[in-house]
Amino acid sequence: MDQTVSFGFFIRLVRKYWLTIVSFTVAGLIVAAGLTFFVITPKYQSSVQILVNRKDTNAATEYAGQQADIQMVTTYKELIVA
C-alpha cells in the first residue's frame, strides 16, 4: 500500500497516453466551440454611440451648438436608461 509516485512515473504516463490526451482535448474544444456558436443564444448585447462636440466662438454657430447639446442630453438619457 505504500507506493511512491515519482515525477518520472508521470512523464512515462504522459508519453504513453499523449495521443489520447491530445485527442480528448481537441474533441472537447470542438464540442465547446460548437455549443457556443450554434446552440447557446447570447444573453448580452452592447452598442456604442460616439458623441462629438465642437467648441466654436462664432455667434452664428451657437444655435446649432445648443441643438447639438439638446441631442446629446437625449443621447445621455438613452445611455443611462440602457
SS3 readout for 14-53: HHHCHHHHHHHHHHHHHHHHHHHHHHCCCCCCCCCCCCCC
- Number of Cα atoms under 13 Å in the Cβ half of residue 55: 0
Whether 21 contacts 14, CB under 8 Å:
yes
pLDDT value, residue 22: 97
Per-residue model confidence (pLDDT) at position 23: 98
Domain boundaries of the chain, sorted by first residue: 7-39
**Residue numbers of the chain with a pLDDT score lower than 70:** 1-2, 49-57, 59-60, 81-82
- Set of cell numbers at residue 66: 445648443
Residues of the chain with pLDDT > 90, as a percent, come to 40
